[in-house]
């Protein structure tokens, strides 16, 4: 048992998944900055701002995940080389088309959602409700963001078929 009354071995398994999620979030964050800086064209004003909103939110999540690891009395990974090695998300190329940016964000979200579900699964086995609560609400939030981006992309694809 650790100081929170949780099984230390099981907490170690949760922390490993939280650190993977943390690594995923860092690559996702940098992809969003890439898109914020490189987006051009007719949707510039909408997307430039939307990408900023998403990376601001990602920064908050990053800090919450890292501080959950600290609350569990472990060390969050904190070096970019470790994030790249640990992440399941790839760095994005510089795209010219905004639809590729949005599709890449949706793909990053799918990887993050999978990663979050693994955290919730192992945290459940550790009866770690605090982690489940934190990651569960972040999961619902990123699912909602995905819906909005998917709706935007569907409309965009429809418009390009009409042309
Ligand atoms: Fe900016």
pLDDT single digits (tens) 5-63: 999 999 999 999 999 999 999 999 999 999 999 999 999 999 999 999 999 999 999 99
74 CA → ligand 1 middle, Å: 34
67 CA → ligand 1 middle, Å: 26
Output the DSSP codes for 19-31.
HHHHHHHHHHHHH
Residue 163 pLDDT grade (very low, low, confident, very high; cuts 50, 70, 90):
low
7 CA → ligand 1 middle, Å: 44
Token representation of residue 154: 């569907």
* Backbone dihedral angles phi then psi of residue 78, each to the nearest 5 degrees: -135, 5
49 CA → ligand 1 middle, Å: 8
Site of tokens 């949005």: 102
Q: What is the pTM of this model?
A: 0.95
- Domains along the chain with CATH numbers: 8-162 (1.20.1260.10)
Determine the 3-state secondary structure of 50 from DSSP: helix
52 CA → ligand 1 middle, Å: 7
């Amino acid at each position: 048992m650790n100081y929170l009354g949780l099984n230390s071995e099981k907490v170690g398994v949760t922390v490993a998944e939280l650190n993977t999620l943390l690594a995923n979030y860092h690559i996702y964050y940098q992809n969003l900055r890439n898109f914020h800086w490189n987006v051009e064209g007719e949707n510039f004003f909408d997307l430039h701002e939307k990408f900023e909103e998403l990376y601001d939110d990602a920064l908050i999540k990053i800090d919450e995940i890292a501080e959950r690891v600290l609350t569990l009395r472990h060390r969050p990974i904190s070096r970019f080389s470790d994030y790249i090695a640990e992440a399941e998300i790839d760095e994005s190329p510089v795209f010219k088309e905004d639809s590729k940016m949005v599709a890449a964000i949706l793909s990053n979200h799918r990887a993050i959602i999978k990663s979050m579900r693994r955290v919730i699964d192992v945290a459940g086995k550790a009866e770690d409700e605090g982690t489940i609560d934190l990651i569960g609400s972040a999961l619902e939030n990123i699912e909602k963001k995905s819906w909005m981006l998917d709706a935007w992309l569907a409309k965009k694809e429809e418009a390009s078929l009409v042309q």
